[in-house]
Amino acid sequence: MTDEGREERRDVVPDDDAEPEEEAWESEVELTVDPPGAGRRLDAFLASRRDLGLSRSHIQKLIAEGLVTIDGEETKASYRLRAGDRVRVTVPFPEPLEVEPEPIPLDIVYEDNHLVVLNKPRGLVVHPAPGHLRGTLVNALLAHCDRLSGIAGVCRPGIVHRLDRDTSGVMVVAKTDQAHRSLSEQIRARTAQRRYLALVHGDVAAEEGTIETRIGRDPVNRKKMAVVREGGREAVTHYRVLERYVDFTLVECALRTGRTHQIRVHMDHIGHPVAGDPVYGPRRPRRLRREMARSMALVVDDGYPEAIGALEGQALHAHFLTFRHPATGEPMEFRVPMPPDMERAVAELRRRGPLPLGPRGPSPAGSGGRVPPPR
C-alpha cells in the first residue's frame, strides 16, 4: 500500500549501478488511485512515484504511445485522476542494439580465461545506451576477447559493475557466466571492495565519516542527480582524509551502495565538490577559493593552482579493487595510478605545502562526520 495507490507489479529491474532511464526494462504496473491522489495530473502523479523511477518526460512519452491507460482506456497526460481509477503503466524492453567490436585500445591490468581487469580511462562510456551506441568499453572488449559473459544481456556482455563515463579507474569484466555470478554476488555481499580517490575543494573537517542520504533526480535539472528529501534511493558513502592542502583535500571513498554519480553528489552535498567536476563542481572555482580563504582566515597571494585549472575532467578515480577469484578462490588485489592530470594536480598541491592531518573542527554533520538524510 502506498499513500496514493495500491499496486501489482511484474518486472525485471536493472542493477543498482544502472543509469536512470538510460536502460528501460519490461514492466507492467497496475494500481488503484486512493483519495490522496485524486485531482492530480496523471503525468505528475506517475513521475512522483519512486517505484517507477521514471521522469515526467518519459511518462509523457509512454502516455503518448498509449502505454498508460485508465480503466483500460488510453488518456492524456493532463487527465485529472479520480479516486478508484485503475492505472496501468507498461514500460517496454529497449530496442535491440547491434553491438559491434571496435579496435579501441585497452589498458589491461590482468587477464585469464575467466576475467579481465582493466584501468578504464576518463571519458569512456562502459556500455552502449541511447546517445552512446559506439565507442564504448563493451565495443572494445568484443574486439579484444573471444568470449564474454552473457548474463547482463546483449548490450552489456561481461559487465559486472560500472564506472561513470568521466570516472577513471579499475574494473573487472567477466568472461564466463560462472565468473559473472561469483563476482556479482561478491559485490552484493560487499566482500569485493572498491575504493575511490577524490580530490575535493576545501578542507574536509573530519578525518573520516559517513554520508547517508537518499539520491534521486534533481527536481530542477533532470539531467543531474541530487540529495532528495522524498523518493530517490538510499545512498551511503564512507570517506577518510588522506592528505590536506591549502584549499583542497584528497579523500578515499568507499561505497556501500552504487547510485549514479554517488560520490560526486555526496561530496557536493557536504560542501566539498570534486575538483574539475563540470556538473556538480563550482562554476567559478577561483571565487570559491577566495570565499573559502576568507572563512578560514587564509591569505590568498599565490594565485590559483595551474594544475587544478588544467584538469581534463573530474578528479575522481577508482584506484583499488579486491575480490576472490571466481574459479580458484584466490584473493586478488589491484591498484591503478591516478590519471596524469590528477597526478599533476596533487603534485602541485603538495609543493604548495600539505597541511597536517587531524580534525579541523566540527564536521558538517557533527560527531563522527555522519551526514543524516535531509528532514
Q: What is the pLDDT of residues 291-310, one digit of tens each?
A: 544 444 444 445 568 888 88
Indicate if the pLDDT at residue 263 is higher than 90: yes
Q: What's the pLDDT at 9?
A: 38
Residue 246 corresponds to which cell in the numbers above? 591549502
Indicate if the pLDDT at residue 250 is higher than 70: yes
| 5-91 and 195-369 have identical folds | no
* Fold held by 108-189: Pseudouridine synthase (3.30.2350)
Superfamily the domain 195-369 falls into: Pseudouridine synthase (3.30.2350.10)
pTM: 0.69
Q: What's the pLDDT at 28?
A: 76
> Is 164 annotated in the active site?
yes
Contacts of 331 (CB under 8 A, 6+ apart): 322, 323, 324, 325
Q: What is the DSSP letter of 250?
A: E
User: Which range, of 21-25, 83-87, 126-130, averages the lowest pLDDT?
Assistant: 21-25
- For the chain, the straight-line distance linking the first and the last C-alpha, in angstroms and rounded, comes to 23
Give the active site residue among 164, 166, 247, 277: 164
Contacts of 238 (CB under 8 A, 6+ apart): 208, 209, 210, 253, 254, 255, 256
- Using CA atoms, how far residue 311 sits from 88, 223, 294, 374, in Å, is 48, 23, 25, 32
Tell me which residue of 165, 177, 175, 213 sits closest to 370, measured CA to CA: 213
Task: Give 171's strand partners.
Answer: 118
> What is the H or E stretch that residue 262 is in?
helix 262-269
Residue 217 corresponds to which cell in the numbers above? 533526480
360 confidence band (pLDDT: 50, 70, 90): low
Indicate if the pLDDT at residue 361 is higher than 60: no
Q: What's the pLDDT at 303?
A: 59
Q: Give dist(CA 50, CA 55) in Å, integer.
A: 10
Domain ranges for the chain: 5-91, 108-189, 195-369
Indicate if the pLDDT at residue 363 is higher than 80: no
Q: What is the pLDDT of residues 216-243, one digit of tens each?
A: 988 888 778 999 988 888 999 999 999 9
Q: What is the pLDDT of residues 180-210, one digit of tens each?
A: 999 999 998 899 999 999 999 999 999 999 9
Give percent of the chain above pLDDT 70.
79
- Would you call 34 helix, strand, or coil by DSSP? coil
Q: In the predicted model, what is the mean pLDDT of the chain?
A: 82
Q: What is the pLDDT of residues 143-161, one digit of tens each?
A: 999 888 877 667 788 899 9
Q: What's the pLDDT at 284?
A: 56
Question: What is 5-91's CATH number, 3.40.50.300, 3.40.50.1820, 3.30.360.10, 3.10.290.10?
Answer: 3.10.290.10
Q: What's the pLDDT at 130?
A: 66
Q: Give dist(CA 319, CA 117) in Å, integer.
A: 12
Q: What's the pLDDT at 297?
A: 46
